């Protein structure tokens, strides 16, 4: 597929092109220009690797190298930064005049210099103007080269050229991620049979899957947060993470210490929330005890998260001190 995309007109590429047409970039990744007949086998399977605008290992490692911009879609292809601009600036994408516009349609040459010229369906509000500025900043590093055609680069290799070896290592890494994600989903599922309020269990499950909207998670989802707002609200540690907020922050740590004193047990505190949950729920003997400890863990996480939200959004003090054991 790499060789096909990079336009080397060897015999097999010409044959495939005459049968199925060019590969075109659509809403859901690559597809063949001509509809394939059912069961056309091998080429269909290969093209399937290029499905999905984000998420597929092949597409994720592929990046558009812009020449004159005459063959690259401005909004829907990934050419400036890690994701297509339509993902990063959804509001502007909605307001743009032509969602299918090419990079070369979005500006013009003036005295030998490329000037961006973005067009919108209506006048923009002040906030939207700010987004336009961030968008311009984001594409300012990309140089348009007159007379050069657009192509592809492969991110896994420094020289931008695909090799089987780099594809293999990237697939191996993905497999490893997959198994880890599977283990963590099994652990998280263990909260469901704990006797506790449903909403407490949901919070604990989301915490174990690292899906609570802590600042680091929001940033990972490309929600822009100022550096000053990234820190923990309780102790001003620089980055608010799930593990920090619910386990290691001095405020949370004091709560866990109190709980350990209350149940009269001692234990180390692992780095990660998942390990902590597994260890904590196994502290006692017998099924009943495990159930009780699980539910205690779930409720504590819920209370800590509620306190975190109250201190962040309602400007109340991180008032755990009032909690009694
Ligand atoms: Zn903290």
Q: Tell me, yes or no, whether 56 and 69 share the same domain.
A: no
Q: Which of 203, 290, 185 is nearest to 246 (CA)?
A: 203
pLDDT of res. 296 = 95
What is the Å distance from ligand 1's center to 239 Cα?
A: 9
Q: Rounded to two decimals, what is the model's pTM?
A: 0.48
**Please, what sign has the CA dihedral across residues 247, 250, 251, 257?**
positive
Indicate the number of domains in the chain: 3
The answer to whether 181 and 286 are in contact (CB under 8 A) is no
DSSP string for 6-41:
TT---HHHHHHHHHH--EEEETTEEEESSPPPTT-T
Q: Tell me, yes or no, whether 73 and 123 share the same domain.
A: yes
What is the Å distance from ligand 1's center to 323 Cα?
A: 18
What is the Å distance from ligand 1's center to 136 Cα?
A: 36
What is the Å distance from ligand 1's center to 210 Cα?
A: 17
Q: Tell me, yes or no, whether 35 and 66 share the same domain.
A: no
Among candidate residues 10, 27, 60, the one where a domain is terminated: 60
pLDDT of res. 37 = 64
The answer to whether 318 and 249 are in contact (CB under 8 A) is no
What is the Å distance from ligand 1's center to 273 Cα?
A: 15
Within a domain: 170: no
- 23's CB contacts (< 8 A; 6+ apart) are 1, 4, 5, 30, 31, 32, 33, 47, 50
Within a domain: 169: no
Among candidate residues 9, 28, 60, the one where a domain is terminated: 60
What is the Å distance from ligand 1's center to 245 Cα?
A: 6
Q: Tell me, yes or no, whether 69 and 157 share the same domain.
A: yes
Within a domain: 304: yes
What is the Å distance from ligand 1's center to 235 Cα?
A: 4
Within a domain: 171: no
Supply the range of the domain harboring residue 157.
Answer: 62-162
Within a domain: 255: yes
Write the CA distances from 244 to 226, 236, 241, integer angstroms.
Answer: 19, 11, 5
Among candidate residues 162, 196, 231, the one where a domain is terminated: 162
What is the Å distance from ligand 1's center to 228 Cα?
A: 14
Q: Tell me, yes or no, whether 315 and 205 share the same domain.
A: yes
Within a domain: 318: yes
What is the Å distance from ligand 1's center to 247 Cα?
A: 9
Q: Tell me, yes or no, whether 213 and 264 share the same domain.
A: yes
Within a domain: 317: yes
pLDDT of res. 322 = 45
Within a domain: 29: yes
What is the Å distance from ligand 1's center to 244 Cα?
A: 6
Give, in degrees to the nearest 5, the angle at Cα 281 between 319 and 200: 45
Q: Tell me, yes or no, whether 120 and 133 share the same domain.
A: yes
Instruction: Determine phi and psi for 163, rounding to 5 degrees.
Output: -135, 155
- 43's CB contacts (< 8 A; 6+ apart) are 16, 19, 20, 32, 36
What is the Å distance from ligand 1's center to 231 Cα?
A: 8
pLDDT of res. 221 = 75
Q: Tell me, yes or no, whether 190 and 253 share the same domain.
A: yes
Q: Tell me, yes or no, whether 86 and 142 share the same domain.
A: yes
Q: Tell me, yes or no, whether 264 and 188 share the same domain.
A: yes
Q: Tell me, yes or no, whether 196 and 301 share the same domain.
A: yes
Place of tokens 């980055």: 239
Hey, is 63 helix, strand or coil? strand
Q: Tell me, yes or no, whether 299 and 313 share the same domain.
A: yes
Distance CA 53, CA 60 (A): 8
Per-residue confidence of the chain (325 residues) as pLDDT tens digits?
777 777 667 788 888 878 777 777 766 677 777 766 655 667 777 777 777 654 567 777 777 888 888 888 899 888 887 778 887 787 888 889 888 899 999 998 888 888 899 989 988 888 888 888 888 888 887 888 888 888 888 877 777 777 788 777 777 777 766 666 677 788 888 899 889 999 999 999 999 988 888 888 887 777 766 666 778 888 888 888 999 999 999 999 999 999 999 988 877 888 889 999 999 988 888 888 889 999 999 999 999 999 998 887 775 555 554 444 4
Instruction: Report residue 308 as tokens.
Output: 């975190």
């Amino acid at each position: 597929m790499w060789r096909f995309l990079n336009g080397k007109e060897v015999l097999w590429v010409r044959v495939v092109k005459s049968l199925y047409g060019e590969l075109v970039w659509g809403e859901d990744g690559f597809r063949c220009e001509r509809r394939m007949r059912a069961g056309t086998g091998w080429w269909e399977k290969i093209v399937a690797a290029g499905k999905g605008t984000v998420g597929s290992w092949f597409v994720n490692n592929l990046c558009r190298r812009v020449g004159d911009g005459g063959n690259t879609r401005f909004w829907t292809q990934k050419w400036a930064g890690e994701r297509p601009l339509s993902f990063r600036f959804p509001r502007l994408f909605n307001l743009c005049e032509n969602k299918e516009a090419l990079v070369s349609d979005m500006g013009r040459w003036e005295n030998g210099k490329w000037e961006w010229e973005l067009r919108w369906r209506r006048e923009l509000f002040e906030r939207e103007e700010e987004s336009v500025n961030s968008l311009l900043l984001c594409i300012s590093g990309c140089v348009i080269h007159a007379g050069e055609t657009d192509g592809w680069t492969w991110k896994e290799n420094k020289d931008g050229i695909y090799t089987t070896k780099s594809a293999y290592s990237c697939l191996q890494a993905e497999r490893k991620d997959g198994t880890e994600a599977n283990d963590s989903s099994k652990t998280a599922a263990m909260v469901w049979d704990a006797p506790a309020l449903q909403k407490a269990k949901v919070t604990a499950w989301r915490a174990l899957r690292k899906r609570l909207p802590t600042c680091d998670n929001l940033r990972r989802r490309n929600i822009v947060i100022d550096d000053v707002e990234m820190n923990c609200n309780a102790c001003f540690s620089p980055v608010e993470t799930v593990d920090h907020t619910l386990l290691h922050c001095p405020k949370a740590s004091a709560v866990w210490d109190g709980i350990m004193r209350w149940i009269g047990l001692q234990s180390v505190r692992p780095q990660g929330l998942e390990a902590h949950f597994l260890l904590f729920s196994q502290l006692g003997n017998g099924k009943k005890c495990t159930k009780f400890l699980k539910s205690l863990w779930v409720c504590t996480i819920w209370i800590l998260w509620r306190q975190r939200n109250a201190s962040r959004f309602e400007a109340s003090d991180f008032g755990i001190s009032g909690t009694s054991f």
